[in-house]
Each structure stands twice: as C-alpha cells, then as structure tokens.
Amino acid sequence: MVMRTFDHYQTEVFRLYLEKKYADSLKVALEAAEQFRDKTARTTFWIACLNARLGRLDEALEALDEGLRKGAWWHEDTLSDADLDPIRRTPEFDRIRKECEHLKSVSAKVAKPDLLVMDPRVSGRESWPLLIVLHQRGGDSPSQTSGEWSSVLQKGVGLAVPWSSQVYDPDRRCWDNLEIAEKDMMWTYSQLSKHKGADLKKVIFGGFSQGAAVAIYVSLKKILACKGFVAVAPSDWVVSEPQRAAERDRPSPAFTSFVQSSRADGVRGCIFVGENDPFLRKMEFLKEEMVDRGLECKYSVETGRGHEYPLNFEEKLAESLGFILNR
C-alpha cells in the first residue's frame, strides 16, 4: 500500500476544487481527515468549504463545529473565504467565529518562537555560512518549511528555520506583527550565537511569500547583520493588505514607504517571481526601488509559474548563494 503524504492530499484537494469537481475533492478531503488527525484545522476547513460549495449547508457548519470540538480554530482571514458565504450570516457561523477569536487570543498568550538548526553535511571548515529561512504566512513547523531549502546542506552552508511566535491557526504561524517579528529575529540570533560552527558574519536570509517579504525587510533594515537575501515569490507586504494582490495595481503603501526610506548598500538579493504570480508587477516596481537604493540584485521571472517555487530550485538556490557570498 502506497503511503501518501499530507502534501499529496492537499494538492489533490486543490486540483479537484479548481476543476470544480467538488464532490471528488470532498472525498479526498475526508480521506485526508481520517489519515492525518494532527491536521484537523485544515481538513475540517476543506470539508466545510466543499460542503458549502455543494449546497450542504448543515454539513458545512457541522464540519466547523467538529473542528472546534477537536481543538481546531481558524484565523479571521481563513473564515472570510468566499466558499463560506452561504453560511456566513447564520447564527451558528457567528458563534463559531467568536469562538475562534477567543481561542486565537488564548493561543497567542502562550505561543513561543521555535528554531530548527541543521549543520552542513559537507564543510571541511570550523565555521560555515548560514541560510536563515522564514516561513510563509500560515507556515508549518520548521521541519516542513526546511524541505525546499535543505539542498544547501550539501554545499557547505548551514540551515536555520525559525518558527514565528505569532499564531495563525493551531499548527501554523505568521509574521503579521512587525514588532513581534523583529523580536523573534533577535531571539533567533541569540540562539544561533550559541551554535558552534555558525558564522554569523556570513548570514543570508531566505523565504517564501510573506517569509520572503520579511527576509527583504530584515535585510534592508539591517537590524541584524547579513550578506543578503533569497526571496521566492515574495508578497508585496509584510502586514497583510485588505485587498488581495490581484485587486491592486500598486504595492502595499507601507512596504513601499519602507523600501523607499531604506538604503541597500552592501546587500545582495536574488528574487524569483512566477510570470503568473499576482505579485509580479508590484515586485518589479519594488525591485527597481531597491536597486536605485544600492541593492545588487539578480531578478528572475519564472516562465509558467504562479505564486510558487521555481522549477529546478535546488540549482537556482546554489547559484543565488554563490552570488550573495561572492564565491
């Protein structure tokens, strides 16, 4: 029997959903819920959305209630999903929303940052450069976030993956509050300063989506010493914007203002954006603003890609590290 990963189920649920095969997608979501009891927040949400799409409104509400009974809750942005519009004005949904707000506030009071550090498998040196990878909004545990970036361990570069102290749902985190994000970065550095072999004079920040935006932010603000950043499918905001990227012609005013007030001298950056990514035009503008302020930049528009990792990312990541470290 072939054991399927959670990512496999998630990809299949979304593929069938985009094909408007909601009943088939629901079948896969139910199977995922049975197989992955530790992913209740996500699987019960999928089940609720798909039932709502199918007109099964009582079942949609029951799925959310079942999630709550099992300890799940959802971020307000998650609950604003249009799939739930048919049940949004019901008293039951309002009760669920309020319960989620309460559970989020309770979780936020006890959440702590976490950090995974992985030494390079090939080094030959007493110390080595370090890539610090920042997760996306709704980022999974550091062990899962590390997957796309772990090839650097074969290149003599260490990998550190912090987990924000800001809760997004029971098993995911975000960087929505910049003040807290900066504190988490300072905590990360304090932990890394105790890690034998990590050369904090040769730090590179990396990240995907919101994590990529935070990597740019931390690099330009220079609150921590670094050589540069690798930004994959960066959002044009750190603090979420009310309008989705596809609904806006310009980048986030707050992030634009930060970039325009920063100097990027001595910083090198590599940015990868899919040609179908809704953030593409905004990032092109921000990239030019950063270059005008001293950033040495390699910028790549990835053919056929959306808001996702490039194809052959392992090779492109190695080239990026070589550029930033001037190897």
- Domain identity same for 253 and 309: yes
**What pLDDT does 240 receive?**
80
Count of alpha carbons within 13 angstroms of residue 119, beta-carbon side: 11
Average predicted confidence (pLDDT) for the chain: 94
What would the two tokens of residue 179 be? 């003040």
Q: Which range among 10-14, 222-226, 256-260, 305-309 shows the weakest confidence by mean pLDDT? A: 222-226
Give helix 253-260 / helix 210-221 axis angle, nearest 10°.
30
Residue 269, domain CATH:
3.40.50.1820
Give yes or no: residues 166 and 85 share one domain.
no
> Does one domain contain both 125 and 22?
no
Decide if pLDDT at 2 tops 80.
Answer: no
pLDDT in tens, 53-99: 999 999 999 999 999 999 999 999 999 999 999 999 999 999 999 99
**Single-letter amino acid, residue 160:** A
135 and 245 housed in the same domain: yes
Looking at the fold, whether 103 and 150 belong to one and the same domain comes out as: no
**pLDDT exceeds cutoff 90 at 248:** no
Report how far residue 292's alpha carbon sits from residue 326's, in angstroms, rounded to the nearest whole number.
Answer: 21
| Per-residue pLDDT, 249 | 85
pLDDT grade for 123, boundaries at 50, 70 and 90? low
CATH of the domain at 74: 1.25.40
| Radius of gyration (C-alpha) of the chain in whole angstroms | 21
CA angle (296, 218, 179) in 5-degree steps: 160
Residues 273 and 194 reside in one and the same domain? yes
pLDDT single digits (tens) 147-169: 999 999 999 999 999 999 999 99
Q: What is the DSSP-derived secondary structure letter of residue 298?
A: E
Q: What is the pLDDT of residue 121?
A: 86
Q: Do 132 and 167 belong to one domain?
A: yes
How does residue 1 score in pLDDT terms, banded at 50, 70 and 90? very low
Residues 206 and 269 in one domain: yes
> What mean pLDDT is predicted for residues 119-129?
82
Where in the sequence is the domain holding 39, given as residue range(s)? 6-109
Does a structural domain hold residue 1?
Answer: no
130 with 270, same domain: the answer is yes
Does the residue 135 lie in any domain?
Answer: yes
Both 105 and 116 in a single domain? no
Task: Mark which of 92, 109, 126 sits at the end of a domain.
Answer: 109
| 135-139, 215-219, 323-327: the lowest-pLDDT one | 323-327
User: What H or E segment, with its residue span, contains residue 129?
Assistant: strand 128-134
Q: Are residues 131 and 242 in the same domain?
A: yes
- For β-strands 172-174 and 166-169, DSSP reports them as antiparallel
Q: What is the mean pLDDT of residues 179-190?
A: 96
Other Cβ atoms closer than 10 A to 171? 18
Whole-angstrom CA distances from 300 to 27, 45, 287, 297 are 38, 35, 11, 10
Place of tokens 């399927």: 4
The yes-or-no verdict on residue 4 having pLDDT over 90 is no
Return the percentage of the chain with pLDDT > 70, whole number: 98
User: Which is it for strands 172-174 and 158-163: parallel, antiparallel or unpaired?
Assistant: unpaired
Confidence of residue 239 (pLDDT cuts 50, 70, 90): confident
Tally of helices (H runs) and strands (E runs) in the chain: 12, 9
**CA terminus-to-terminus distance, the chain:** 46
Domain membership flag for residue 252: yes
Question: What is the rounded distance in angstroms from the CA atom of residue 265 to the CA atom of residue 64?
Answer: 50
- pLDDT at residue 3, rounded to an integer: 65
Q: What pLDDT band is residue 316 in, cutting at 50, 70 and 90?
A: very high
In a domain, 159, yes or no: yes
Out of 90, 109, 128, a domain closes at 109
Residue 70 lies in a domain: yes
Pairing between β-strand 296-302 and β-strand 128-134 as defined by DSSP bridges: unpaired
The count of domains in the chain is 2
Best CA proximity match to 132, nearest among 204, 219, 218: 204
From 109, 136, 153, give the residue that closes a domain. 109
Same domain, 252 and 272: yes
